[in-house]
Amino acid sequence: MGSNSVRDRLVDQSLTSRYSQWVLEALDELEDPFLITDPAIAGHPIVFASRGFLAMTGYAFGEVLGRNGRIFQGPATDRRSVMEIREAIREERTVQISILNYRKDGTPHWILFHMCPIFGAEDGRVLHFVAVQVPISKRRSRCGVERCGAVLGTCREEVRLDKDLDCSHHAREVFVDMDSRGLEAKEPQMAGDQEKEKAANAINCILLALNRYSKMTGRVVCGKRCGSAGSGVASLPSSLNISLGRIKQSFVLTDPHSPDMPIVYASDAFLSLTGYSRQEVLGRNCRFLNGPGTDYEVLKEIKKSIHGQQSCTVRLLNYRKDGSSFRNLLHISPVRNASGKIAFYVCVQMDESSKNIDNGLSPEMWQLGAVGAVKVAVRSLSSSAGPSRPSQ
Amino acid sequence: MVSVEQVEGRTDYPFLRQNSGSDQSKDHQVTLKGVKIHLYKLGIIAKGNGACGCFPCTATDSQSLLDSVLLSQWEDRAWKGQLKYDVTTCQTKVINGEKKFVVQLNERWNSLFLEEFENSFLQPLGPISSNHIKSHKENVLFCVSQGEKESSEVVLSTMLPKDGILIIANANPVEYGHVFLVPYNINRLPLFLDKKMVELILRTAVEVNSSSFHVFFDSIISNRSDHIIFQASYFANPLPVELFPTVPVYADTHRTGIHICEVADYPLKTLVFMSNNLNSLSNIITEICSNLRDHGSAFNLLITDCGTKIFLFPQVQSVIMDRPISTWECGGYFVYGTKFGFDNASETEILKRMASVSLDDSSFQSLKHLCCSIAVNLFL
């Protein structure tokens, strides 16, 4: 499908378009295991994996490029840790956590996962996440409750105190009977100061490299949010980008609070349908899709609905970049955020001549399914731009 | 969408109504003749593979088919004005404090919505019949049932199957996408949380495959009527309880794959059950809930993480509150019907409310032991 190769190209160019092509060489010189991901591409994929990372995990570069970081998780990976990482991404902040990951051959290993966001200097938008993964050397696990996952030591003590109760006896048996080969890997390993220092140093090196090379393209990045500029398109928080990336229909989000209601998000399917690139549509009003055959009455109807903050479905003739036209089944709906106020309008397009819905849904259902998903995603935001909770 | 034709059918309640006068008919299909509904048929899980085969959300990079169906139908009813209000216009905020409870201002909130739904939709006696569907056909969104093929599929406007889960829009939503999930079987009344029902609910959550999708169950309400009603809604931000640290209580990674934890530092004593093995999870929850019901204990269930995590909130009768708290309240999300209440909502007040329905330490300890012993002796 067309959008796949578009996506592949986005993944390939994610770093070079921002930091120039020399950044890849510079990153290759760094020994530590790390990944760089791009939250603006559907699926929040890996756009770079260091040699150290590939050596540690046994994967080849091509096997991880474009995939999501969850492929390194497995059955014994603590769900809480996964959730903490997810929350850090959503809140666009740094996280440092011990987590159990899996190599290509399926063997588990404990790593100190240290991730931090990279912000664009001019708009404060998160461009990439850098995740350094330092292997934790095996040592005796300590008792005590830590935030980094299951600690069996505490349980054993709890169980020992209740000697007279049957179930505790059984529970102890369950712990003891666990396969000792697996036990070692599943015993949580706490990262020591050595590992934490290694991670912090690695992050700094990567940040330095990215900052230096971003100056070559004139689009500087930094490790801290430098404050968003007033001009240009309102930046969407990366969590919203990630949620929207899951929606496969053609749609755009427009910002009713900015002059001329510009497009602030365009799905890959929209770009495939219309033939435009993302840079060509962001910041522009949707009217570039209209042309000589577009019915003026329909446009008036759309305007009326938007003024009345109502949803509407219309059919109109629209035009692709190459000038060809298509009958567009268009649904427009206001989308509100957590404060109850309208944050965006969602416009879902469907080419009426294409027969590409093969999942049993009617065209209307297919469109409304996208609308619903957008509404759920945007409802999580506390304001129309920026992360939903204050950064730490 | 549901369409109903006028048909003469024999109503059939084999277990009840001894003096109905009509014959015990073998043809139970007649009960639902003429009811057409959108149907989501779940694919078959390969035998011997108890695991649902997917890791917690979001296992795939795209919106699932069931998610599309549910959201599209809900949005359709919302757009047609069949809901009492647009819940997304309601303001929400995080309360100051370290627990980060969330409150919503909803001046149209109807705290009796569940009772009203029960009274209007479900008869006190008898399994689901076409009369149920007819009276509420606008808000019946679709039905989920077990299909016969390997992969799931959507069938539009078809016959209602003899058993499944009816998905019905809640006209008084707490958040976007708030629906009732009503398990039904036209041959009999549902038994309290039987394993098949819990499994089907979990499979639905797995199939929706959205980290925003939360399923709720209030045992207190169910005791009043003979029908079991689950609810579900979309909360894109995790509920406050999901972000609290947990302390492990039990772990059996190899046989059942079940982990049991207790939530730390939370005003309401709460247990969490986690497993990627759907069979194990539905088994253990069914047994524990039956046990609790037999002892007359009230509880709430919250299903998250695409059907792999279940929070158990045991409740006692509160001295300061006139009603039990709903599951999302257990989770730390509260709705206020007045601006005054909303503006003055405080963490202290909420903590008091939650603590008043919480088990005490020794009762909770007993519950933990009960859960562990059930887990250890779990027959798969």
Q: Is B314 helix (H, G, I), strand (E, B) or coil?
A: strand
Going from the C-alpha of B130 to that of each of A37, A372, B12, B162, B168, the distances in angstroms are 52, 29, 11, 12, 15
Q: What is the mean pLDDT of chain B?
A: 84
Q: What percent of chain A has pLDDT over 70?
A: 81
* pLDDT(A223) > 50: yes
* pLDDT(B346) > 70: yes
Which tokens in the block code for residue A239? 């969590």
Q: How many whole angstroms separate alpha carbon A139 and alpha carbon A112?
A: 14
Between chain A and chain B, the number of residue pairs with CB atoms below 8 A apart is 178
Is A174–B252 a contact, with Cβ atoms under 8 angstroms apart? yes
Between CA B94 and CA B102, with CA B99 as vertex, the angle to 5 degrees is 30
User: Which of B148-171 are b and which e, b meaning 16 or more Cβ less than 10 Å from the residue's Cβ?
Assistant: eeeebebbeeeebbebbbbbbbbb
Contacting residues for B8 by C-beta, under 8 A, at least 6 apart = none
The predicted pLDDT at position B17 comes to 32
Which tokens in the block code for residue A73? 């998780």
The predicted pLDDT at position B8 comes to 36
**Band of the pLDDT at B132, cuts 50, 70, 90?**
low
Q: How many whole angstroms separate alpha carbon B277 and alpha carbon B67?
A: 22
Q: How many whole angstroms separate alpha carbon B211 and alpha carbon B259?
A: 19
Which tokens in the block code for residue B165? 């889960």
* Contact of A363 with A329, CB cutoff 8 Å: yes
* pLDDT(A54) > 50: yes
* Contact of A328 with B35, CB cutoff 8 Å: no
Task: Dump pLDDT digits (tens) for A327-350.
Answer: 999 999 999 999 999 999 999 999
Q: How many whole angstroms separate alpha carbon A304 and alpha carbon A281?
A: 23
The predicted pLDDT at position B228 comes to 86
Distance (Å) from the alpha carbon of B277 to chain A's nearest alpha carbon: 10
A318 touches chain B (CB under 8 A): no
**For residues A206-216, average pLDDT:** 85
Distance (Å) from the alpha carbon of A342 to chain B's nearest alpha carbon: 8
- Of residues B132 and A278, more confidence is placed in A278
Query: Which of A38, A79, A163, A350 is the best residue to mutate to test the B interface, defined by the most B CB atoms within 10 Å of its own CB?
Result: A79
Task: Dump pLDDT digits (tens) for A225-279.
Answer: 655 444 344 578 888 999 999 999 999 999 999 889 999 999 999 999 999 999 8
Q: How many whole angstroms separate alpha carbon B147 and alpha carbon B65?
A: 15
**pTM of the prediction?**
0.79
Q: How many whole angstroms separate alpha carbon B78 and alpha carbon B75?
A: 5
Nearest to B254 among A170, A178, A375 (CB): A178
Q: Report the candidate in A89, A83, A112, A79 with the shortest Cα–Cα distance to residue A40.
A: A89
Find chain A residues with C-beta within 8 A of B250's C-beta. Answer: 155, 171, 174
**Band of the pLDDT at A215, cuts 50, 70, 90?**
confident
The predicted pLDDT at position B338 comes to 96
Which tokens in the block code for residue A77? 């990976």
The beta strands (E) that lie in chain A are given as: 34-37, 46-49, 95-102, 108-120, 126-135, 221-222, 250-254, 263-266, 312-319, 325-336, 342-349
Contacting residues for B365 by C-beta, under 8 A, at least 6 apart = none
* pLDDT(A6) > 70: yes
Task: Dump pLDDT digits (tens) for A356-373.
Answer: 677 889 999 999 999 999
Task: Dump pLDDT digits (tens) for A121-136.
Answer: 777 788 899 999 999 8
Distance (Å) from the alpha carbon of B237 to chain A's nearest alpha carbon: 6
A154 touches chain B (CB under 8 A): yes
Angle of helix B195-208 versus helix B278-294 axis, rounded to 10? 130
A305 touches chain B (CB under 8 A): no
Residue A329 pairs in a beta bridge with: A315
The predicted pLDDT at position B162 comes to 87
Distance (Å) from the alpha carbon of B252 to chain A's nearest alpha carbon: 7
Is B68–A80 a contact, with Cβ atoms under 8 angstroms apart? no
Which tokens in the block code for residue A107? 């063997």
Q: Report the candidate in A134, A174, A135 with the shortest Cα–Cα distance to residue A152.
A: A174
Task: Dump pLDDT digits (tens) for B26-69.
Answer: 344 445 666 788 999 999 876 554 444 444 444 467 899 999 99
Residue A353: CB atoms within 10 Å: 7
Is B69–A70 a contact, with Cβ atoms under 8 angstroms apart? no
**Phi, then psi, of B207 in degrees rounded to 5:** -70, -35
**For residues B335-346, average pLDDT:** 96
Is A68–B237 a contact, with Cβ atoms under 8 angstroms apart? no
The predicted pLDDT at position B25 comes to 36
DSSP tag of B324: P
Distance (Å) from the alpha carbon of B218 to chain A's nearest alpha carbon: 24
A76 touches chain B (CB under 8 A): yes
A141 touches chain B (CB under 8 A): no
Q: What percent of chain B has pLDDT over 90?
A: 64
Task: Dump pLDDT digits (tens) for B188-226.
Answer: 777 688 899 999 999 999 999 999 999 999 987 666 666
**For residues B371-380, average pLDDT:** 90
Going from the C-alpha of A50 to that of each of A24, A25, A55, A114, A204, the distances in angstroms are 10, 11, 9, 15, 15
A336 touches chain B (CB under 8 A): yes
* pLDDT(A150) > 90: no
Q: What percent of chain B has pLDDT over 70?
A: 81
Query: Which of A68, A155, A167 is the best residue to mutate to test the B interface, defined by the most B CB atoms within 10 Å of its own CB?
Result: A167
Whole-complex ipTM: 0.88
* pLDDT(A169) > 70: no
* pLDDT(B146) > 70: yes
**Band of the pLDDT at B135, cuts 50, 70, 90?**
low
* Contact of A254 with A262, CB cutoff 8 Å: yes
Which tokens in the block code for residue A298? 């329909």
Is A367–B156 a contact, with Cβ atoms under 8 angstroms apart? no
Torsion angle of alpha carbons B221, B224, B227, B233, nearest 10°? -10
Helix (H) or strand (E) holding B360: none
**Band of the pLDDT at B7, cuts 50, 70, 90?**
very low
The predicted pLDDT at position B224 comes to 62
Residue A129 pairs in a beta bridge with: A37, A117
* Contact of A69 with A37, CB cutoff 8 Å: yes
* pLDDT(B155) > 60: yes
Which of A51-55, A259-263, B25-29, B75-79 is least confident?
B25-29
A216 touches chain B (CB under 8 A): no
Long-range CB contacts for residues A65-71, cutoff 8 Å, separation at least 24: A65/A11, A66/A7, A66/A8, A66/A11, A68/A37, A68/A43, A68/A44, A68/B61, A69/A35, A69/A37, A69/A44, A69/A131, A70/B55, A70/B59
* pLDDT(B280) > 60: yes
Q: How many whole angstroms separate alpha carbon B127 and alpha carbon B17?
A: 12
Q: How many whole angstroms separate alpha carbon A384 and alpha carbon A264?
A: 11
User: Which of A115-125 are b and which e, b meaning 16 or more Cβ less than 10 Å from the residue's Cβ?
Assistant: bbbbbbbbbbb
Q: How many whole angstroms separate alpha carbon A265 and alpha carbon A278?
A: 9
Going from the C-alpha of B56 to that of each of A95, A384, B246, B274, the distances in angstroms are 20, 28, 17, 10
**For residues A79-99, average pLDDT:** 89
**Band of the pLDDT at A5, cuts 50, 70, 90?**
confident
Q: What is the mean pLDDT of chain A?
A: 81
B133 exposure class (CB count in 10 Å sphere: 0-12, 13-18, 19+): buried
For residue B245, give the amino acid letter.
P
Q: How many whole angstroms separate alpha carbon B207 and alpha carbon B198?
A: 14
The predicted pLDDT at position A3 comes to 56
Nearest to B376 among A167, A360, A382 (CB): A167
* Contact of A339 with A388, CB cutoff 8 Å: no
**For residues B282-286, average pLDDT:** 95
* pLDDT(B96) > 70: yes
A361 touches chain B (CB under 8 A): yes
- Of residues A158 and A108, more confidence is placed in A108
Which tokens in the block code for residue A314? 């219309």
**Band of the pLDDT at A107, cuts 50, 70, 90?**
very high
The beta strands (E) that lie in B305-348 are given as: 309-315, 333-336
Q: How many whole angstroms separate alpha carbon A112 and alpha carbon A132?
A: 8
The predicted pLDDT at position B93 comes to 94
Closest-approach residue (CA) in chain B for A159: B249
Is A368–B247 a contact, with Cβ atoms under 8 angstroms apart? no
Distance of CA B178 to the CA centre of its chain: 10
The predicted pLDDT at position B225 comes to 64
Q: How many whole angstroms separate alpha carbon A131 and alpha carbon A355?
A: 41
**Band of the pLDDT at A99, cuts 50, 70, 90?**
very high
Find chain B residues with C-beta within 8 A of A387's C-beta. Answer: none
